[in-house]
Structure formats: structure tokens, C-alpha cells
Amino acid sequence: MIKPLRMFRFAFPRIAAAFFLAGSFSACESDEGPLVKDPGTPADSISFANDIQPLFNAYCTPCHGAANQKLNLLPCCSYEQLLLTGFRAPYVLPSNPEGSLLYQYLNGNPIQMPPSGPIPPHDIESVLLWIRQGAKNN
């Protein structure tokens, strides 16, 4: 039988290290990484500014810039456009994350965005989690 103290000395540093790592990497959640996201735990909360806007900058703003008549995804405007002022706003529905237009277009429905092909699944998952967590301007 394993003595409780030995078990504590074994488990505690590992649990503490896991929390420490989760905290220090949370700013890089849009990168490929070992973190598995599970909605509901604070360590996994997605930030619009740190996790979502960088995806727009990388994949969307060449077309969805100031000149785009429907949806401007530049940092100045993206949040307001998605929630309120875009052509078919709201594009994100916390009450129906999978049905949100933003999520649907990322998955090729009715057309693929970006047109060149889907962004990495990990990034689409971040968008879905961000919507599930309330689509906050955080």
C-alpha cells in the first residue's frame, strides 16, 4: 500500500507544476501546443484580444479590412462588427455557438472562409470555445 505522505510528495509537485504551466502558457493558446482545452475551467478561458483577433489578423484581414462592405475584421472594428454592426450581425451567438455564422463559415458552410482552405482545427476550436464562453470582448 502507498503511504499517504509519499503519495502527496509525489503528486503535489506535479499538480502544482501543471497549474503553473497552464497559467504561464495561457497567453499562447492560439499556438499549437500540448494544452487540451476544456470549457469550464478558468485556466482555459479564451481571450478575444490574445487568441481570436490574432487569427483574424493572420487569415482574414487581407480581405476583411476597412474596404470590406460586409465584415471588417481589423482590430479597430472586429468585435463590434461581429456583434452589432456587420452586414449580418450578430455573427456569434453564445446561445448557439455551433450555429454561429462565424463558426459556420470557418467550417465551409455555406462557403469556406478563408477561401483558400480551413484554418487549423485547433484555431477553429478556439473560436468555438470563445463563443461558448460568452463571446466576450476580453
Q: Closest distance between ligand HEC and the C-beta of residue 72, in Å?
A: 11
Distance CA 72, CA 100 (A): 17
Residue 22, classified by CB atoms within 10 Å of its CB into exposed (0-12), middle (13-18) or buried (19+), is: middle
Name the one range near ligand HEC by CB under 6 A: 5-13, 34-42, 63-71, 92-100: 63-71
For residues 63 and 76, which CB has a smaller minimum distance to ligand HEC in the complex?
63
Q: Which of 39, 65, 87, 137 binds ligand HEC (CB under 6 A)?
A: 87
What share of residues in the chain are helix, strand, coil (percent, to 5)? Answer: 50, 0, 50
Distance CA 48, CA 130 (A): 7
Name the one range near ligand HEC by CB under 6 A: 23-31, 37-45, 112-120, 128-136: 112-120
Give me the residues that bind ligand HEC (CB under 6 A), please. 59-60, 62-64, 70-71, 87-88, 91, 101-102, 105-106, 113-115, 119
